[in-house]
Amino acid sequence: MTILIPFVGYLVVFNPSFINFFQQELPGGIPNTYDWFSELHGQRLVFLYFGLLFLGLGNLLFVILAPDALRKHSDVSGYITEMQGVASQTLIANKLTETVSRFLNANEGEARSPFFYGQSLSFPSEASGYLHDLIGNLWRDISPSKLPDLELSYETPGTFFEGSPYTIYTGSGYLQTDNIMEIMTAGNAATFALLHLMHAEAEGRSKEVFFVEFYSLSFSKFLARAMVGLFFLLGFGALLVPTLTTSTLVMMTAFQKPM
Give residue-wise pLDDT tens across range 218-242. Answer: 999 999 999 999 999 999 999 999 8
Give residue-wise pLDDT tens across range 121-148. Answer: 999 999 999 999 999 999 999 988 887 6
Can you count the helices (H) and strands (E) in the chain? Answer: 12, 2
**Predicted local confidence at residue 213, as pLDDT:** 97
Rounded Cα gap, residues 33 and 205, in angstroms: 64
pTM: 0.77
Rounded Cα gap, residues 76 and 206, in angstroms: 13
Provide, rounded to the nearest whole percent, the portion of the chain with pLDDT above 70: 77
